[in-house]
Structure 1
Amino acid sequence: MQNQIDLGADAAGKSVTLDVEELLATRLLVQGNSGSGKSHLLRRLLEKSAGIVQQIVIDPEGDFVSLAEAFGHVVIDGAAYSDTEVARLAARAREHRASVVLALDGLEIDNQMRCAAVFLSALFDAPDKHWYPALVIVDEAQLFAPSASGDVSDEARRSSLAAMTNLMCRGRKRGLAGIIATQRLAKLAKNVAAEASNFLMGRTFLDIDMIRAADLLGMERRQAEQIRDLERGHFVGLGPAISRRPVTVRVGDVQTRAKSTVAGLTPPPLATGEDMASLLHAPPEVPPAQAELWSAAAPNRATAAALQEHIADQTAPTPGYPEVTLSGDECASVMREVLDEMSGEDGSTFLPSATLFQDFTVRCRMRGLKDHGLDAAQFRKSFAQSLAGVTLDDPHGQDARLLALAETIPEELLTPFLAIGKAAIDGRPCPDDEALAILYGTRSVGRARRMLEHLEKTDLVVVRTDYAGRRAVAIPQLNLATALA
């Protein structure tokens, strides 16, 4: 059948297949020590299913970028983009059903976790019309869903773990099938691993990992020795997409190779010790860029004051290109332009406020505004006003009264409340549940309805529905109401 892919052969030489359609509903966990053939297995799975389903690979080592040439995957270098750009690339990958490889090998582990969290969250938050089936393969999953805190920051660990939990626990309804691979089961968060119903267990030596793998496979602990004795490239598979009983599979060949693959042993060159020493100690062929680093004398260390002056000289305006000075009105105009531009972009309400604030600052600087004068809290209010279309052109008008009332609103409810108020001022219908959910930063219309109920319980709005099911929302303190929708 078209949805069956060949993983390899069992001990009797019979083909072992994996049902991709079943995999989309039940997810997969791959475990094996370094050198067990785990990456080879993932590559076999990716190559065989490339023409069946969209594939999204989170690749911390850059091993799967070779899929681009053979199978047309788009390689996204995580080190080359900002958080905002990474989120947009993820959203477009879902929209256009593009198979992509997010290569994170150019980043430190903290930034790897942050980048993967932004990318996975954007996949998860895609609009429901883009919920196409996709395999999401996360290699070295213990890095992104650690069972305990390590040397990384708490912020990076929490965001990455939340994104991985969403993928494995709630991704199925959004078409996302998580395939996670790890070297150490003991280091992988249990709530992430527990959501997989299919398992492929490779060679494991540590007792704690071996026992946990045996438990997942339903084996008795005395049978766990079987996992330790597996050869390279051999896995024990179990699950509705593979087999109802544990089956040993020898993974078949692949077409592509990882960049880090070393083909066999390479003998050292035939040279005497003296020849090799002369090669190592030979002077550089060209003069180095910083000759003082190669001199025998230690370079003079600059003082902090001198270093600050040097940095100031480097950042001073270039002669002939004087620094642009904007008037107060021009600054306000630039800020409104940037806010309107950002609020008009799809998915902006789903990005973290810190990411949006950084993006806002950069865009202002690109337009010649070095200091916009807003702190993070003021920016969030201004961004909410821009999303709702509220202005302060008339300090005594209805918009100003709405903003004054909104001072009592919790920050997370500000944008939908202002949108309802602006619709009432303009005499338009109240935004529907889906539009309110997006303004609220979610895809759940249930959360949007609960948000509206909360506003009503706090006496900020009154919701009325007629017998035809049309809804109007009134704001008693402003003596305004939206039109029936």
Structure 2
Amino acid sequence: DILAELSRSTPAASAAPAEPRASQVEVSAEEREERLAGVLAEILDDPTSAFRTDSVLYQDFLVRLRMRRVPGPPIALPDFRRRVAISRSGVDATTAATVAWATALSLSSGVTDDLQGVFLMLAKAAVCGEPCPSDARIARAYGTHSARRARRLLGYFEEQGIIVVHADFSGKRIVAIPDMDCQTAPGDANAPDTGDQPLAAE
């Protein structure tokens, strides 16, 4: 039989070896942390990120980590939320190394996840002696366009004994944080948040 003869004379084709998966390059803990911070910064640099839910931002974060082949297990959602809150506060490396900021982080653990970003922003302004953030700025930190809701947040913090809100002789707002023994400089509560659309009154 011709077909049988050809079958015997032709060596069996060996299966092509599977392409090995590219192994992830080992990096130091410091380098991995830098990559994580870089990816998070990319996400938060988008002005619309302030109005997206943490779960949506987290999924975007995980996708970008895979695309950049950042090694190691992904950080958990609570840790991600904490990083977002700290990043949105605008704290710099010098301030972050102070005892006052360590106190701010400790105090922030006493508020719910969705309020930590607002509290840390106020704490950063107080530690650095910066003007009190406007309603517009507070609203954006909370992920809303509502100026009234921003004022309600300050009222809630004050009811909890976390802050004390008062004004200077010109009527500008000051937020003091008793447990940190510091307060913001006077700030215009009605000042716009540069680059944002006008806030709703409700």
* Smaller-chain TM-score bracket: 0.7 to 0.9
Which among 13, 21, 24 is matched to residue 317 of structure 1? 21
Shift of 1:391: 6.0
- Structure 1 372/337 Cα, relative in aligned 2: closer, same or farther at 3 Å? farther
Q: Distance in 2 between matches of 1:365 and 1:400?
A: 32
Shift of 1:377: 1.0
Larger Rg computed on CA atoms: 1
Q: Would you say the 8 A contact 1:344–1:387 is kept in 2?
A: no
Q: Distance in 1 between matches of 2:45 and 2:38?
A: 11
Q: Distance in 2 between matches of 1:370 and 1:351?
A: 26
1:276-324: CA deviations, max 9, x gaps?
xxxxxxxxxxxxxxxxxxxxxxxxxxxxxxxxxxxxx67x524xxx522
Question: 2:78 maps to what in 1?
Answer: 377
Q: Would you say the 8 A contact 1:334–1:369 is kept in 2?
A: yes
Which among 395, 419, 426 is matched to residue 121 of structure 2? 419
Counterpart of 1:382, as a letter, is R
Question: 1:343 maps to what in 2?
Answer: 44
Q: Would you say the 8 A contact 2:26–2:71 is kept in 1?
A: no
Q: Distance in 2 between matches of 1:374 and 1:480?
A: 33
1:338-381: CA deviations, max 9, x gaps?
22222221121211211111111122223331435411111111
Which among 124, 129, 142 is matched to residue 440 of structure 1? 142
- Structure 1 340/383 Cα, relative in aligned 2: closer, same or farther at 3 Å? same
1:400-434: CA deviations, max 9, x gaps?
22111111011111111110101111111111001
Counterpart of 2:21, as a letter, is P
Where do 4+ consecutive residues of structure 1 move more than 6 Å?
none
Shift of 1:384: 0.9
Identity of aligned residues (%): 35
1:66-113: CA deviations, max 9, x gaps?
xxxxxxxxxxxxxxxxxxxxxxxxxxxxxxxxxxxxxxxxxxxxxxxx
Q: Would you say the 8 A contact 1:402–1:418 is kept in 2?
A: yes
Question: 1:406 maps to what in 2?
Answer: 108
Q: Distance in 1 between matches of 2:170 and 2:107?
A: 31
Shift of 1:392: 7.1
1:8-34: CA deviations, max 9, x gaps?
xxxxxxxxxxxxxxxxxxxxxxxxxxx
- Structure 1 449/372 Cα, relative in aligned 2: closer, same or farther at 3 Å? farther
Which TM-score applies when normalising by structure 1?
Answer: 0.33
SS in 2 for 1:365: helix
- Structure 1 373/395 Cα, relative in aligned 2: closer, same or farther at 3 Å? farther
Counterpart of 1:412, as a letter, is D
Count, aligned residues: 169
Q: Distance in 1 between matches of 2:70 and 2:55?
A: 19
Shift of 1:397: 2.6
SS in 2 for 1:323: coil
2:157 paired with 1:455: yes
Q: Would you say the 8 A contact 1:387–1:415 is kept in 2?
A: yes
1:102-142: CA deviations, max 9, x gaps?
xxxxxxxxxxxxxxxxxxxxxxxxxxxxxxxxxxxxxxxxx
Gaps spanning 5+ residues in structure 2: where? 1-17, 188-202
2:184 paired with 1:482: yes
Q: Would you say the 8 A contact 2:135–2:150 is kept in 1?
A: yes
Which TM-score applies when normalising by structure 2?
Answer: 0.76
1:171-213: CA deviations, max 9, x gaps?
xxxxxxxxxxxxxxxxxxxxxxxxxxxxxxxxxxxxxxxxxxx
Greater relative contact order (Cα 8 A, min sep 6): structure 1 or 2? 2
Q: Would you say the 8 A contact 1:461–1:476 is kept in 2?
A: yes
Q: Would you say the 8 A contact 1:472–1:484 is kept in 2?
A: yes
Counterpart of 1:336, as a letter, is A
2:35 paired with 1:334: yes
> Is the deviation greater in 472-481 or in 322-331?
322-331
Question: 2:11 maps to what in 1?
Answer: none
SS in 2 for 1:429: coil
Matches within 5 A, 1:14-163: none
CA RMSD of aligned residues (A): 2.0
Counterpart of 2:118, as a letter, is P
Q: Would you say the 8 A contact 1:470–1:484 is kept in 2?
A: yes
- Structure 1 372/467 Cα, relative in aligned 2: closer, same or farther at 3 Å? farther
Q: Would you say the 8 A contact 2:32–2:71 is kept in 1?
A: no
Counterpart of 1:429, as a letter, is P
